[in-house]
Chain A
């Protein structure tokens, strides 16, 4: 038996699949957010150095992870779109960008709220903060290039190339911690040594990270559905779909 790997690469078959998947991801997101926030805000122990203020970490750290992850995923989709010329890949890249920009902004915002009680300043020109800001600029550049070009095909391809070029910046963000030795605390989760935080904290943070993932998937699927309808509005199946809805 041969499997048709590209079945869901076509917008026609992906559109209903996305519609069926979204409710599941929404439910999982709500449940996980509830559990994660409860664990983070009520169960996790108070930090002996930072007091209660550290609890913003449960939003800040997953948001920062997501902001970088989404850029890489976006660049990967953009690359796929350029190489295989699949319409859906470039639509996914388009749909991912606003969510990525939102998480980047959230990471900066919560970082400022965390920085004020800890460092005594809303903002410091530390390497990681600065790279996160640059990441926000990259997202904004991607979105504005796409918005400035009228032809959707050219817009998709041009912004895809920009995303790939910008992806070079993401490793620099990661290694910036090692390059510049500054105020920001080093990463407390690494794969080669035991994490330097209580288990409940770690569990809460990982649950929040998964919740952010499922949130992203739900929102992006919804956005990609809109994108499909918009770009394919002259195709027969979209016209039939609209007539069916109106009837």
Chain B
């Protein structure tokens, strides 16, 4: 049998989860459609004036991305939980937090990254300028992984709990607020002609913090849930 190192284990989990996601493309697409539909509801609700839309665009896109990535979280561990492979994952000698990181990364690639790519298009519909679209892309690129990482803790804690969907929202959404503030704040700052540098730096700091600690917390949460 071939021995697998730490990075090898990470890559294996990543490849496995990506394969599973590709075989079930509809899950990926539902999240993306949800994101598009929520954003396009706003002009219908608020009115078609371009000035108003441009003003609310950063917040609308960010809130929609937040909700979409939260909806996708439910699938992060539930499939593995149901078919028992999560228990096998817990028995692997490599650190669980590393495997969790692989799963979260795969989850972000299939649920977060499409949102990031779709966002500039939606931003254009809401009348954002090129510069602001660029900032939107960068902040979502930094912010959506934070949401996946932090959300994984909530997803792990609520495994197999009744009323899971709503509970997950209640646990995870308050923790998303700093990301929302800095993400939407950066785009707003660029819309109003101020530099977005400070906000983007803070988002980057949040990402580093989440990368360091969220996998550890998620691994602990999984162990609690699987006892």
Partner-B contacts on A (CB < 8 A) = 82, 134, 137-138, 140-141, 144-145, 148-149, 153-154, 157-158, 161-162, 164-166, 169, 172
Say yes or no for B174: interface residue by CB 8 A criterion. yes
Known pairs A145-B161, A148-B163, A169-B174 / 11 extra A-B pairs, C-beta < 8 Å = A141-B170, A145-B158, A157-B224, A158-B157, A158-B221, A161-B153, A161-B157, A162-B157, A165-B150, A169-B178, A172-B178
Interchain residue pairs with CB less than 8 A apart (11): A82-B220, A141-B174, A145-B158, A145-B167, A158-B157, A158-B221, A161-B153, A161-B157, A165-B175, A166-B174, A169-B175
B167 with A161: CB separation less than 8 A: no
B224 with A158: CB separation less than 8 A: yes
Partner-A contacts on B (CB < 8 A) = 150, 153-154, 157-158, 161-163, 167, 170-171, 173-175, 177-178, 217, 220-221, 224-225, 227
Chain B residues within an 8 Å CB radius of A172? 178
Count of CB-CB pairs between chains A and B under 8 Å: 54
Chain A residues within an 8 Å CB radius of B217? 161, 164-165
Partner of A161, one of B150, B224, B227: B224
B171 with A162: CB separation less than 8 A: yes
When chains A and B are docked, how far (Å) is the Cα of A169 from the Cα of B177?
10
A148 with B221: CB separation less than 8 A: no
How far does the Cβ of B135 sit from chain A's closest Cβ, in whole Å?
19
A158 with B174: CB separation less than 8 A: no
Q: Counting chain B CB atoms within 10 Å of each CB, which of A82, A141, A145, A172 scores highest?
A: A141
How far does the Cβ of A115 sit from chain B's closest Cβ, in whole Å?
21
B224 with A134: CB separation less than 8 A: no
How far does the Cβ of A152 sit from chain B's closest Cβ, in whole Å?
12
Write the chain A residue with the least CB distance to B182: A179
Chain A residues within an 8 Å CB radius of B178? 169, 172
A154 with B227: CB separation less than 8 A: yes
How far does the Cβ of B183 sit from chain A's closest Cβ, in whole Å?
15
Instruction: Classify the interface of chain A: helix, strand, loop or mixed.
Output: helix
When chains A and B are docked, how far (Å) is the Cα of A149 from the Cα of B221?
14
A134 with B174: CB separation less than 8 A: yes
B157 with A145: CB separation less than 8 A: yes
Chain B residues within an 8 Å CB radius of A154? 224-225, 227
How far does the Cβ of B59 sit from chain A's closest Cβ, in whole Å?
12
B153 with A165: CB separation less than 8 A: yes
Partner of A149, one of B154, B161, B171: B161
B220 with A161: CB separation less than 8 A: yes
Chain B residues within an 8 Å CB radius of A140? 170
A148 with B177: CB separation less than 8 A: no
Partner of B171, one of A145, A153, A157: A145
Chain B residues within an 8 Å CB radius of A145? 157-158, 161, 167, 171
A138 with B224: CB separation less than 8 A: no
When chains A and B are docked, how far (Å) is the Cα of A134 from the Cα of B171?
11
Chain A residues within an 8 Å CB radius of B171? 141, 145, 162
B174 with A137: CB separation less than 8 A: yes
Chain B residues within an 8 Å CB radius of A164? 217
When chains A and B are docked, how far (Å) is the Cα of A145 from the Cα of B157?
9
When chains A and B are docked, how far (Å) is the Cα of A246 from the Cα of B150?
50
Chain B residues within an 8 Å CB radius of A166? 174-175
How far does the Cβ of B206 sit from chain A's closest Cβ, in whole Å?
10
How far does the Cβ of A7 sit from chain B's closest Cβ, in whole Å?
28
Write the chain B residue with the least CB distance to A149: B161
Chain B residues within an 8 Å CB radius of A158? 157, 221, 224-225
How far does the Cβ of A234 sit from chain B's closest Cβ, in whole Å?
20
Q: Given the known inter-chain contacts A137-B174, A138-B174, A141-B174, please indicate yes or no for A148 contacting B224, CB distance below 8 A.
A: no
When chains A and B are docked, how far (Å) is the Cα of A84 from the Cα of B224?
15
When chains A and B are docked, how far (Å) is the Cα of A162 from the Cα of B150?
11
When chains A and B are docked, how far (Å) is the Cα of A154 from the Cα of B227?
8
Partner of A148, one of B162, B174, B225, B227: B162
Write the chain A residue with the least CB distance to B173: A137
6 closest cross-chain pairs (CB), A and B: A137-B174, A157-B224, A141-B171, A158-B157, A148-B161, A141-B170
When chains A and B are docked, how far (Å) is the Cα of A82 from the Cα of B223?
12
Chain B residues within an 8 Å CB radius of A148? 158, 161-163, 167
